[in-house]
Structures are given as C-alpha cells and as structure tokens.
Structure 1
Amino acid sequence: MLTIAFPALAFDTNCYVLAPAAGEECVIVDPGIGVEDTLREVLATHRLRPAAVLLTHGHVDHVWSVTPVCGADTAAYIHTDDRYRLVDPLGQSNSGLAAMLEQQFGSRASWAEPSNVVEIRDRARLTLAGLEFDVLHAPGHTEGSVMFGTDGVPDGVADQVDVDRTMLTGDVLFAGSIGRTDLPGGDHGAMLRSLRDVVLPLPDTTLVLPGHYHATTMAHERTTNPYLRDLPA
C-alpha cells in the first residue's frame, strides 16, 4: 500500500495519503492547517486522484483544509457525533487560534463547510479507492473520535517490523501517550473505556499511524505506553 505522511504547518498534525499504488485513486486522512501545497505536490508526484477524505475527528487542526481538498465532488467522512464540528470548527476552538492563524498565514482565517459530508458510525466498513477501512468509534478525545483500520500496510514496512495491518488512530492513541480529554467534548472516562474496549484488543501486529508524532506498533504500545499499561480493570 502506497502511504505518504507529512505534518501540517500548525500543531504537527499528520496528514496521510493512502492508495493501492501510484497512478491510482487515493484516500486522504486528516488534511490539517496549511497542507494544500504539499498535498498537491504529493498527488502530482505519485499521479494520485482523491476519492475520499477521512476525518478521525472534528478538531480544527485535523479538518482545516478539508473543504479545499474535497472541492465540489469528493466526500468527507466523519462520525455522526462529530458532524456538528464541521459547521464552524474555528468558532469551537479557543479564542486565540484565529489570531494565531492570521499571524502565521497573513490573512484572516475563514471557514466554509464541505459540500459533501458522509456521516459514519461504529463498525462501518468503507470501500474507497480500492482499499477497505473498518471504522472503530473511540470517544474520549471528542464525542465522535474514530480510528480507521485497513488490512494493508505501507510498502516496505512489513520487511522492518512484524505488522500485517494498519490503524489510523487520530488523537486516540499516540506513541507513548493518548489524546487530551480536557477540551470541549472530551471525556476522560470515555477515553479510558475506549482504550480498554477498542484499543487494547487490537493485535500486536497492528501498525499505528497516529494523528501526531511518529508511527508505532500495538506490540510496543501495549508494553510501554503508561496509559495502556496502567488501565484499570
């Protein structure tokens, strides 16, 4: 599976592009702040055509570029419980974020809702760009946080580590940490339940592609991540 990852210009949010191979349709995951230029280069270099945009949750640092990336035709997929966040993600953020974006990019921050939004639910199976994704609802960071799992692994990775499946975890699980739960819509109790019931059952051979920081594996996180290791029974 062709997999390209690069950070957004703010908050180091990971944007992912996945496709069966170069020259095919692709899926874009979490197009954050200021990713449009890099994304255009990636698509042109690998001759990729966007078939869909997957959103792990509705925070502004993960969805900011979804509307220009989708254009008029490409659908954005988001869990039903986070759908409301696409109405005005900037207005739902802290008051200083708009000023920060204006200072960084030199223009007043504005938002337009994507025209084609598909609401998804737990355990849905999506077939997009020749790839299949399982949707796992894992609330806690936000009400509608999800993880997207696929049986493919990035080209060359299986030769280096023992993995046979990929999970895009958004801000549910990071290498050595988890997403914060003190923002509006966050719920620490729900996060603990998601970690226990949704994350921990993932096989050790799962490659974890998180919303921030570097990739990891479930085998590594199960033994080293304090939020998983110290979960209450």
Structure 2
Amino acid sequence: MFVRSIVADAFGTNCYIVAPARGEECLIIDPGIGVENRVQDVLAEHRLRPAAVLLTHGHLDHVYAVTPVCAGTTAAYIHSDDRYRLRDPLATMSQPLVMALEQQFGRKATWTEPEDVVEFTDRQVLELAGMSVEIAHAPGHTEGSVLFTTSGVPEGIPSDELDRTILSGDVLFAGSIGRTDLPGGDHAAMTRSLRDVVLPLPDSSLVLPGHGPATTMARERTTNPYLQGLV
C-alpha cells in the first residue's frame, strides 16, 4: 500500500494520501491548512488520481483545504454527526484563535463549503480507490469523530506483525488522546470510545494519528496512560 503524509502549515495536522499502489486512484485524508499545493505535487509525482477526500472529523485544522483539494470533482466524506461543521468550521473556533491564524498567514481566514458532501455512519464500509475502508464512530473529541481502518500496511513497513492500518484522527495519538474541552467535546464519550472502540483493536494495527508520529496498538495498549485501567 502506498501512503504519504503531509504536515499542515498550522497545528501540525497530518494529511495522508493512501492508494493501493502508485499510478492508481487514491484517498486523501484530512487536508488541513496549507496542504493543497503539496497534495497536488504528490499526486503528480506518483500519478495518483483522487477518488475521495475522507475526514476523520470536522475541526478546521483537519478540513481547511478540503474544498480546493476536492476542486469540484471529488466528494468529501464525513460522519453525519459532524456534517454541520462543514457549513462553517470557523464558527466553532474562538475569535482569538481565528485572529491568531490570520496574523500567522497574513490574510483573512475564509471558508467555502465543498460542493459534494457524502455522510457516512458507524460500521459502514466504503469501497473507494480499490480499497475497503471500515468506519468506526468514536465520539468524544467531536460528536462525529471516527477511525478509518483498511487492510495492509504502507510499503517499507514489515508486515509480519502488522496487518492493517488505522487512521485515528484526533481520537488516539502516540502516548496521548485528543482533547475533549472544545465545543462538541465530551470526556465521558471519549472514555467510552477508548474502552469500546479503541481497546478492542488488535495489536497488529498500525496507527496513523491526526497529529504526531505513527504508532501501533500493541505499543499504545501497554504505554498510553489514557488506555490504562479501562475495562
């Protein structure tokens, strides 16, 4: 499986481009702030054709470039509980944070909703770009946060112990989890998601989080303090 990550210009958000192989259709996951030109460079270099843009949740740092990346030809997929965020993700951010972004990039933050938005639900399987992507609803960071799971691991990673790849968004990080104190966050829901959705994941899972380095479920099960003591 071909995977490339691009770190956004703000918040260190990971955007992933995933395909069965070079020269095939691909999926673009979480196109954050300022990634659109680098996404196009990767597509051109590896002869990839976007089949869809998948969003782990609707926070601005994960969706800001979704409309230019879709470019009127590719649909954006998001869980139905976070669909409302695509109408204007700037509206859910504090004004000081919006002003800080504008100061950093030297221009006013603007938003245009994608033309084609597809809603998905828990345990739905999306057949896209020659891959099967399973949806696991894991609310807590936002109401519609999800994990995406597909079989196989990126080229160059030994597959004798790892057999699937999980794009965890802001649910699970290496050694941490997503915050729950933003609008739509819910600590109790996050605890349930960690217990009922994350902990049952097999140790053979490679985890590609929304921020920070890759990890594995085997490592997180034994070292992540937020997973300790959950039954």
Query: Helix, strand or coil for the counterpart of 1:113?
Result: coil
- Which piece of structure 1 moves more, 161-170 or 118-127? 161-170
Distance, in Å, in 2 between the alignment partners of 1:12 and 1:180 is: 15
Alpha-carbon distance in structure 1 between the residues aligned to 2:43 and 2:106: 26
Contact 1:90 1:97 in 2 (8 A): no
Looking at structure 2, the residues matched to 150 and 226 of structure 1 have their Cα atoms a distance apart, in angstroms, of: 26
Q: Distance in 2 between matches of 1:36 and 1:96?
A: 25
One-letter amino acid matched to 1:221: E
State the percentage of identical aligned residues: 68
| SS in structure 2 of the partner of residue 90 of structure 1 | helix
Alpha-carbon distance in structure 2 between the residues aligned to 1:185 and 1:49: 34
Counterpart position of 2:52: 52
How far apart are 1:152 and its partner, in Å?
Answer: 2.0
Aligned partner of 2:20 in structure 1 is: 20
The residue aligned with 1:213 is 212
2:135 counterpart SS class: strand
Alignment partner of 1:188 is 2:187:
yes
Instruction: Please identify runs of 4+ aligned residues in structure 1 that moved more than 3 A.
Output: none
- 2:176 is matched with 177
Which sections of structure 1, spanning at least 5 residues, go unmatched? none
Aligned residue number for residue 116 of structure 1: 116
AA aligned opposite 1:46: H
How many residue pairs were aligned?
231
2:174 and 2:93 map into 1 onto residues whose CA distance is 25
Residues 190-199 or 99-108, more deviating: 99-108
SS of 2:89 mapped into structure 1: coil
Q: Does residue 130 of the first structure (1) align with residue 130 of the second (2)?
A: yes
Deviations, residues 166-206 of structure 1 (Å, cap 9, x unaligned): 00000000000000001110000000000000000000000
Q: Please say if residues 158 and 164 of structure 1, whose CA atoms lie closer than 8 Å, have aligned partners that are also in contact.
A: no
| Alpha-carbon contact 1:150-1:166 (below 8 Å) kept | yes
Give the Cα separation in 1 of the matches to 2:223 and 2:14.
22
Q: What is the CA deviation profile of residues 117-153 of structure 1, one whole-angstrom value per residue up to 9, with x for unaligned ones?
A: 0000000000111111000000000000000000021
Cα distance in 1 for partners of 2:229, 2:33 equals: 34
Superposition RMSD on alpha carbons, in Å? 1.0
Q: Contact 1:32/1:66 (CA < 8 Å) preserved in 2?
A: yes
Cross-structure match for 2:223: 224
CA distance in 1, matches of 2:74, 2:6: 21
| Structure 1 position 34, deviation (Å) | 0.5
* Unaligned segments of structure 2, at least 5 residues: none
Q: Could you tell me how far 1:100 is from its partner in structure 2?
A: 2.1
Deviation at 1:105, TM superposition (A): 2.1
Cα shift at 1:104 = 2.2
CA shift digits 1:8-58 (9 cap, x unpaired): 000000000000111111100000001012111111111111110000000
Letter in 2 for 1:130: G
Q: What is the TM-score normalised by the length of structure 1?
A: 0.97
Structure-2-length-normalised TM-score: 0.98
Which amino acid counterpart does residue 32 of structure 1 have in structure 2? G
Instruction: Give the aligned residue type for 1:119.
Output: E
Q: d(CA) in 2 for partners of 1:136 and 1:86? A: 20
SS at match of 1:142: coil
